[in-house]
Amino acid sequence: MLPKIRPGDLCVFEVYGGSGNAGSRNGQIVLARQSRRDDDYGCQYTIKEYHSVKDPHTGHNDRVELRPLNEAYPLIEIDEDDEAVDVIATLKCVLS
């Protein structure tokens, strides 16, 4: 997550849906759990920037994009019915 999070930084997350942080996550940095292990990077958790793509007719989320800040990592697209990725927390602060 360079440039926001650097190696050795400590990150403080708040469980999503907890006290005071329910609602839109659009534009926030989130911690997400993938139900399947990523073969390229060998991990099950990822930190990405959350962006929802809304249906222009209904206003509901058509899909969600989890975007890396570092272009070396892949974008993750989640359809509304996709249960393979679960956003579990939002970033509150980074301690360098």
pLDDT digits (tens, 9 = 90+) for 4-37: 899 999 999 999 876 655 567 889 999 988 876 6
Beta strands in 1-96 (DSSP E): 10-15, 29-38, 43-54, 61-67, 76-79, 85-95
The yes-or-no verdict on residue 39 having pLDDT over 90 is: no
Q: Identify the pLDDT of residue 90.
A: 92
**Alpha-carbon gap, residue 32 to 91, rounded angstroms:** 11
pLDDT at position 23 is: 65
The pLDDT tens digits of the residues spanning 53-70 come to: 788 888 777 778 899 998
Kindly report the pTM of this predicted structure: 0.77
Structure tokens that stand for 54 in this block: 């809304």
Among 78, 81, 17, smallest CA distance to 53 is for 78
Cβ-based burial of 55 (10 A; exposed 0-12, middle 13-18, buried ≥19): exposed
